[in-house]
Amino acid sequence: MVYPLAEQRLAQRTSASLYPQNLQGSDNRGLEQALHALESAALNFALRFIGDSKVRLDYQRQTAALSQRIRREVLAGKITAQQGAKTANSIRNEILKASRFRTSDIGLAFAEAHKKTGLSFDDLLAKYSGKKFGKTFSSLSKAQQNEVFLELVDSAGRNSEKHTKAVARNLRFGRALVVVSITISILNIIAAEDKLKATAKEGTVLGGGFAGGAAGGAAAGLLCGPGAPVCVTVGVVVGGVLGALGADYVFEWLWD
């Protein structure tokens, strides 16, 4: 059907008022930034969960091997039970320190909230003599003390079932978040008219989000102190979102 000129102009003005171009662009831009923030948050947590799970598994393997080796040396008479217990406790605490250097900001905050440092040798003697015999270590017989020493050696390679399950759960969750992040990136690139620009932008925004998350986690750690997992997690989320949005803005400015 052909409209008269006046009716065509009226239809054009009505259409323009209902769907202004600048509003459409603003809505799309807001949606794009929200997706980038979600993508950045998913990747931030994914990398931390996966990395921390690998560190924990490595810690478990090292301490288990340590415990078995020292026990064999004690039973073979190469070292005394007391020497084995002291060695196991000392090396395990060193492995713990080294593992925490490789742990993410969030993982470190949770670890420090659970246990700031490894227990001292005397603390462990008191713990296991009370648990095993209901007495102080000094009141035990020589044979009983040797049993406590061997218990310390075994405990160096023993891991909490609760933590082991948490490691497996976090590893699965981290991998799922990687899939989410990659899926959002692919959808953004597919929907874009300029594929080259979209691909470059995805990398830039993800990098900015990760850097912002690391900076936010570090700042929260300094502000809240050790053993504050909630504070550090908030810092990572806020820093990641701000980093992603900042990278998005800078990329658009430089590209244009």
Is 99 within 8 Å of 70 (Cβ atoms)?
no
Structure tokens at 77: 């008479």
Do 117 and 215 have their domain in common?
Answer: no
Residue that wins the pLDDT comparison between 239 and 158:
239
What pLDDT score does 5 carry?
Answer: 46
What pLDDT score does 242 carry?
Answer: 87
Could you tell me if residue 5 is inside a domain? no
Query: Does 23 score more than 80 pLDDT?
Result: no
Do 151 and 209 have their domain in common?
Answer: no
What pLDDT score does 222 carry?
Answer: 84
Do 161 and 225 have their domain in common?
Answer: no
Do 67 and 155 have their domain in common?
Answer: yes
Could you tell me if residue 225 is inside a domain? yes
Query: Does 42 score more than 90 pLDDT?
Result: no
Do 55 and 138 have their domain in common?
Answer: yes
Confidence of residue 68 (pLDDT cuts 50, 70, 90): very high
Do 203 and 101 have their domain in common?
Answer: no
Query: Does 16 score more than 60 pLDDT?
Result: no
Task: Work out the angle at residue 43's Cα, subtended by the Cα atoms of residues 247 and 167, and round it to the nearest 5 degrees.
Answer: 155
Is 189 within 8 Å of 199 (Cβ atoms)?
yes
Which residue range is the domain that position 149 belongs to?
41-180
Cβ contacts of residue 223 below 8 Å, gap of 6+?
231, 235
What pLDDT score does 49 carry?
Answer: 85
H or E stretch including 62?
helix 21-75
The per-residue pLDDT for range 169-189, each reduced to its tens digit, is 878 888 888 888 888 888 888
Cβ contacts of residue 216 below 8 Å, gap of 6+?
235, 236, 237, 238, 239, 240, 242, 243
The per-residue pLDDT for range 183-234, each reduced to its tens digit, is 888 888 888 888 888 888 888 888 888 888 888 888 888 888 777 888 888 8
Structure tokens at 71: 């026990």
Domain-ending residue, one of 180, 215, 241: 180
Compute the Cα dihedral for 238, 244, 245, 250 and give only its sign. positive
What pLDDT score does 13 carry?
Answer: 42
Question: How confident is the model over 127-143, as a mean pLDDT?
Answer: 90
Residue that wins the pLDDT comparison between 249 and 159:
249
What pLDDT score does 29 carry?
Answer: 67
Do 169 and 65 have their domain in common?
Answer: yes
Do 146 and 206 have their domain in common?
Answer: no
What pLDDT score does 27 carry?
Answer: 57
Do 135 and 216 have their domain in common?
Answer: no
What pLDDT score does 20 carry?
Answer: 39
Could you tell me if residue 222 is inside a domain? yes
Query: Does 56 score more than 70 pLDDT?
Result: yes
Do 209 and 249 have their domain in common?
Answer: yes
Query: Does 15 score more than 50 pLDDT?
Result: no
- Domain count of the fold of the chain: 2
Domain-ending residue, one of 180, 203, 227: 180
Question: How confident is the model over 103-130, as a mean pLDDT?
Answer: 83
Do 139 and 206 have their domain in common?
Answer: no
CA dihedral in degrees (135, 140, 144, 149; nearest 10)? Answer: 80
What pLDDT score does 1 carry?
Answer: 44
Cβ contacts of residue 100 below 8 Å, gap of 6+?
108, 111, 112
Average pLDDT, the chain: 80
H or E stretch including 109?
helix 105-114
Is 153 within 8 Å of 88 (Cβ atoms)?
yes
